[in-house]
Structure formats: structure tokens, C-alpha cells
Chain A
Amino acid sequence: MTTAARTRAFIIAGLLPALILYLLFVVVPVFWSSYYGFFSWKGIGEMKFIGLDNYTEVLKDEIFWKSFVNNLYIVAYSVFGQVPIALLLAIVLARNSWYQRFLRASIFMPMVLSSVVIGLIWGYIYHPQIGILNFLLDSLGLSSWKLGWLSDPKVAMYSIGPPIIWANIGPYLILFIAALQNIPGEMDDAAQIDGATGLRKLFQITLPMIWGTIKVAIILCISGSLKAFDLIFIMTRGGPANSTELLATYMYNNTFNIFRYGYGSAVSTSIVIISLLLIAGSQFLMNRNKNVA
């Protein structure tokens, strides 16, 4: 064998395992689900071709759109909860003393827990009878504030916010700390000479310097919001009365609880399209802003 042929053989042999696994279990399923979406199928028996019926039903279903709105709620929790809190914490935690590192580590901690564990713990915090939140309100003499945090359809979607923010602040904190530590020291000195301190320095120097990172964080919030399936599945299963339904739980319930595999596939395809649109849209908006500025 010549050297060139040996090199080519090595390239092919080395890439093949990765490519086969990746194509078979990540890329192909996406196309398969759009194909299954054209059929009515209960998982066993015959598949019946029904054209676009599943897809039009998805678009007409109120619960699908409610789920979509709930996904946007999660985006909002991340953008208006995680980002400002993480930014604030990063500003005070940007140095490297052991106590700051300890605080950072504790704030990051929930990130390494399984969503099942997080969901169960918060289920106990919110539990109407034995929950520690209602117990706390009782002992503070605020019994009238007690709620069925996860069992009241009007409240449930709001109760989802704190666990999501609590669990996901970590990476944003680290992202912002890295950005803050990249601001050159001369900027600090220049600001001090010009007499800019405190809030003025924050708004006129620090925030503009890390604006790019803040934009990255917002894009992360949008793509991250589509991953919230596990937590909600454990805490509410999308209930009560679909009040916390997300696109992913909606898909799961339609497929595996009422066995509409064709319809579930159509929903899966919609999720892929929606998430690509969201990511492309946010990237476009952010880039346009950059060109203007």
C-alpha cells in the first residue's frame, strides 16, 4: 500500500464509528419522525397514510400552543431570572479568594444533580400538606398565603420558575465571571482616574464591556429552555389540566400515554423546527444589533 492510500484508509476507519453512530441515532431519527408524522399508527398493527392530517392537527390544537407559550415562560424565567442574578453574583464573586470559590461552588452545585432529584426535592418543598414552604408560611403566621403550589392550575406554571432558576444559575455565573476577569486591568485604573465608581462604573464601563457575553447568555437561555422536560415531568407531568404542559411533555403524553405514535412524531418534528427557528432567530437578532452598534 502507498502512503496516500494508507492515510486514506486510516481516515476512513477512524471516522467511520463516530459517523455511523451519530448518523444512526441522532440525525436519522429526526428525519424518521417527520416521515412517521404522515401516518396514523398505534404502535402495533398497520400504519395508515393520512397525509398532512397530523401536522394540521398539531397546528390547530390549543394545548400545543399552550405548551409553546409555557416554553416561552421558561425562556422568560431564564432571561429575567438566571441572567440578572448570575450577573449580580458574578460582579461580587469575580475574585479568587477561598471563600469566593466556596460560594461559587455552592451556587454551581445543583447543576450536577439529576433533574429527577431536583424535581423530587422541590416537590417536597411545594407539597400542599407536608411541604416545607407551607410549613414555613404557617410558622411565620402567614397561613393565608398558603397555596397548592403545584396542584393549583393558576399557580403551577409560576412555581416551576424557582427550581429552574435555582438549578441552572451555575454556568451563567461562570460565564460572567470569565468575562469580567477578561476586562483589562487598565480599564479599572482609567475609570478610577476619571472618578467613575460604584454604579456609574458598572453601567458605563463594566456592562458595555461584557455586553457580548450577555447576548451569548440570552441565546443559551433560549436553547436551554427546550431541555426542561425532565424537571416538569417529575414535578407535574404537565398537569394540572395541562397548565404546565411543555412541548416535550405534550409529545410524550400523546405518544406514550395514548399511543398515537404518528401524532407524537409530528409533534417531535414541530419541536425540531421550532427550536431551530428560535435559535436562528435569536442569533439573527443578536448579530443585527452588533452591526448597528
Chain B
Amino acid sequence: MHTKPIPMSSSARGGSIVIRKMGRGATWCMLTFYALLTLYPLIWLFVSAFKDNQDFFSRPFGLPSSWHFDNFSRAWKVAGMDIALLNSAIVTSVSLVLTVLIGSLAAFILSRFHFRLKGAVMGLFLIGMLIPVHSTLVPLFIMMKEMSLLDTYAALVLPYIAFELPIAIFIISAYMTTFPKELEEAATIDGAGYWSIFCRIMLPLSMPAISTVAVLGFLRFWNDFAFPLVLINKPSLKTLPLSLSIFADGYGTDYSLTLAALTISVIPTIIIYLIFQEQIMKGMLAGSVKG
């Protein structure tokens, strides 16, 4: 509890309180300014997405002189955002479901069973967090080519799961170790096998940890650029970040189209962020501290 030695200090330092209040006010102003500065690039993106090219050049800071909603319909069709969105949704959801299932099954075994190689297996998964993703691009490209998996959804889904497994196992098994031992004992007495313990007890009870893993995985898969860059070439299979990347070389192109396309790709992540803010913050912390 905070017990304050009030009387002496407040009367003796009346002047310094005024200064401190002014200081606090200044801090607030600077903080708000800083937050606006961080948000500005995004606000600028959303506002500019409604401008026509002329407006974009002449008044980069102003509001649009007329709001062009057609930018979005053009981006949807012309820039192929519809296909890219669909591809991203398929790749992300398949990877997510498999990561969660395979990861929590492994986490269940690593946290609730005792066997000889347990420490070694756990260590093996932890080492994986130290391997820089980009250093595997070349060999993965060659492997996928020899397995004839280039230009398929599997080329993305398989490495996504593999790279997300260590953090998934780490987060979920840390959560599962906190359950009391009697949980399985009671279920075993009732005649439940391991599989039904896993499906009926462990999975539902671990939902908080699983949802953290799922949210982190969503952001990682949805935003990933390096793997599709190397493993996907076919326009009909391009994910959102890969389709957007073509705008990077295009000096002197259709800016309003580009910004509308960017906005379309950002909206799902922003929505997820607004809903799962706390989980994302804590999960990313856990993820980065371990990695």
C-alpha cells in the first residue's frame, strides 16, 4: 500500500507541485504528439486512398477534394485484391488450424508425460527459434522444387506450420503444466483414453493459450512476404503481401489504386488487432523473449 508522508512535503514544496503539474502537462502534450506521429502514416494511408491522383500530388496532407470510393472497387478487380485476399485467407486458415492441432498435441505430450527423450525433444524445438527464417529460403526453394511443390498452397503451409510450431509448443505447454495431475487421473478412472483426454479436456481448457498462439500465427502467416516471394510465382496463387509488392518497383503508376489496395490488405489486421489487443501484446512479448 502507498502511505504518503503528506503534510510536510506538500506544504513545504508548494512551488514544486506547480512545476510538476506543468511538467506533467508538457509530458502529456509530447506523448499525444508522439502517438499522433506514430499513427500518422496510417491515417495518411486511409485518407489518401480516397483521393484521385491529381489530389494525391498537389495536396498530400489535405483531405480529398472529393471522396473516390471507386478506388477500392478498382483495386479489388484491377489489382487482383480479390484473388490475393482469397489466397491469403486459405493459406492462413489452413496453416492456423494445423499449427494449433499439431502444436497442442505435442505440447500435451511434452507437458503431461514423462519419457526418456523429453528434454532432448524440447531442446530441439527451442533451438529452432534461433534459426533465422531467411537463411532457409534457398534450401527450401530447392527442396520444394524437387518435391514439385513450387506454386502450390502446400509450399507455404508446410514451412509456416514448421516455423510456428516451436513458439506454439512453448506457449501451450507452459499453460498445460499448470493443470493439476488429478485431471487425467479422474478421466482415466472414468475410462477415457489419451485421445479423448486430449480432445475433451486438454484442448478446451487450454483455449486461452491456444487463442494467443492463433492470433500470433494469424499475423505471421497473413503478413509474411519472404516465403511467397521465393516459393510462389503463379499470379493466381499470390498472397496479399506478394501482390502488393509489385507496387514497390512501380514509379509513376496509379497511386490511388495502390493506396486503396494497401488499405484493403491492412483492414483485416487492424480489426484483429482491435479485438485481440491484449493477447497480441502479451503473445508477441512471449514470442520475442524466447526467440
B138/A268 in contact, CB under 8 A: yes
B223's partner among A8, A22, A113, A265 (CB-CB below 8 A) is A113
The residues of A that contact B165 with a CB separation of less than 8 Å are 18, 21-22
Q: B102-122, CB under 8 A of A: which get 1 and which 0? A: 110110111001010000010
By the criterion CB–CB under 8 Å, are A121 and B143 in contact?
A: no
With A10-B194, A171-B288, A272-B132: A116-B241 Cβ-Cβ less than 8 Å: yes
Does A15 count as interface, using CB distance less than 8 angstroms? yes
Judged by a CB distance under 8 angstroms, whether B90 is at the interface is no
Query: With an 8 A cutoff between CB atoms, is A27 at the interface?
Result: yes
Instruction: Summarize B's interface: helix, strand, loop or mixed.
Output: helix
In the complex, are the beta carbons of B113 and A11 less than 8 A apart?
yes
Inter-chain CB contacts under 8 Å: number: 257
Instruction: Using A19-B121, A107-B35, A192-B5 as known contacts, say yes or no to A230 and B139 having CB atoms under 8 A apart.
Output: no
Q: How long is the Cα–Cα vector from A190 to B273 in the complex, in angstroms? A: 39
Tell me which residues across on chain A come within 8 A of B280, comparing CB atoms: 108, 111-112
Segment touching B, from A152-160, A248-256, A285-293:
A248-256
Contact check, B255 vs A130: say whether CB atoms are below 8 A apart: yes
Q: 1/0 per residue A113-141: CB within 8 Å of B?
A: 11111011111110000101001100000
Task: Classify chain A: how many residues form its interface, as a range.
Answer: 35 or more
Is B225 interfacial (CB-CB < 8 Å)?
A: yes
Given contacts A17-B105, A93-B31, A116-B244, contact A109 B273 (CB under 8 A): yes
Nearest-neighbor residue (CB-CB) of B272 within chain A: A112
Q: Which residues of B contact A119 (CB under 8 A)?
A: 248
Q: Is A276 an interface residue (CB 8 A)?
A: yes
Task: Select the residue from A15, A19, A233 with max chain B CB neighbours within 10 A.
Answer: A15
Q: Is A65 an interface residue, CB under 8 A from the partner?
A: no
Asked whether A113 and B137 contact (CB < 8 A) given A22-B166, A125-B41, A230-B226, the answer is no
Residues A224 and B135 in contact in the complex (CB < 8 Å), given A11-B109, A22-B166, A25-B159: no
- By beta carbon, the residue of chain B nearest A108 is B281
Cross-interface CB contact of B134 among A185, A188, A220, A227, cutoff 8 Å:
A227
Q: Chain A: interface secondary structure?
A: helix
Known interface pairs A14-B108, A21-B158, A113-B269; A32-B142 also in contact (CB < 8 Å): yes
Q: Please indicate which of the listed interface residues B41, B165, B265 has the most CB atoms of chain A within 10 Å of its own CB.
A: B41
Q: Does A33 contact B (CB under 8 A)?
A: yes
Of the candidates A15, A107, A188, which one forms a contact with B2 in the assembled complex, judged by CB atoms under 8 Å apart?
Answer: A188
A24 interface hit (Cβ, 8 Å): yes
A114 to B240, Cβ gap below 8 A? yes
Other-chain contact of B162, A22, A36, A233, A255 (Cβ < 8 Å)? A22
How large, as a class, is the contact surface on chain B? 35 or more
Give Cα A264–Cα B158 distance, bound, in whole angstroms: 22
Residues of chain A lying within 8 A (CB to CB) of residue B38: 106-107, 109-110, 166, 169
Query: Once bound together, how far apart are the Cα atoms of A267 and B163, in whole Å?
Result: 21
Q: Which of A199-231 contact B (CB under 8 A)?
A: 216, 220, 223-224, 226-227, 229-230
Contact with A along B37-59 (1 / 0, CB 8 A): 01101101100000000001100
Within 8 A of A (CB), among B239-286: 240-242, 244-245, 247-248, 255, 258, 262, 265-266, 269-270, 272-273, 277, 280-282, 284-285
Tell me which of B35, B161, B219 has the highest count of chain A C-beta atoms within 10 A of its own C-beta.
B35
Complex Cα distance, B226 from A227, in Å, reads: 10
| Interface contact A116-B245, CB-CB below 8 Å | yes
A268 contacts B135, CB within 8 Å?
Answer: yes
**12 residue pairs from A and B, CB less than 8 Å apart:** A17-B106, A27-B131, A103-B31, A114-B269, A117-B241, A166-B38, A175-B285, A229-B226, A255-B141, A268-B137, A276-B130, A279-B130
Interface residues of B (CB under 8 A from A): 1-5, 27, 31-32, 34-35, 38-39, 41-42, 44-45, 56-57, 60-61, 102-103, 105-106, 108-110, 113, 115, 121, 124-125, 128, 130-143, 158-159, 161-163, 165-166, 169, 194-195, 198, 219, 222-226, 229-230, 240-242, 244-245, 247-248, 255, 258, 262, 265-266, 269-270, 272-273, 277, 280-282, 284-285, 288-289, 291
A residues sitting closer than 8 Å to B (CB atoms) are: 6-8, 10-11, 14-15, 17-19, 21-22, 24-30, 32-33, 36, 89, 92-93, 102-117, 119-125, 130, 132, 135-136, 166, 169-171, 174-175, 178, 185, 188-189, 192-193, 216, 220, 223-224, 226-227, 229-230, 233-235, 248, 251-252, 255-256, 261, 264-265, 267-269, 271-272, 275-276, 279
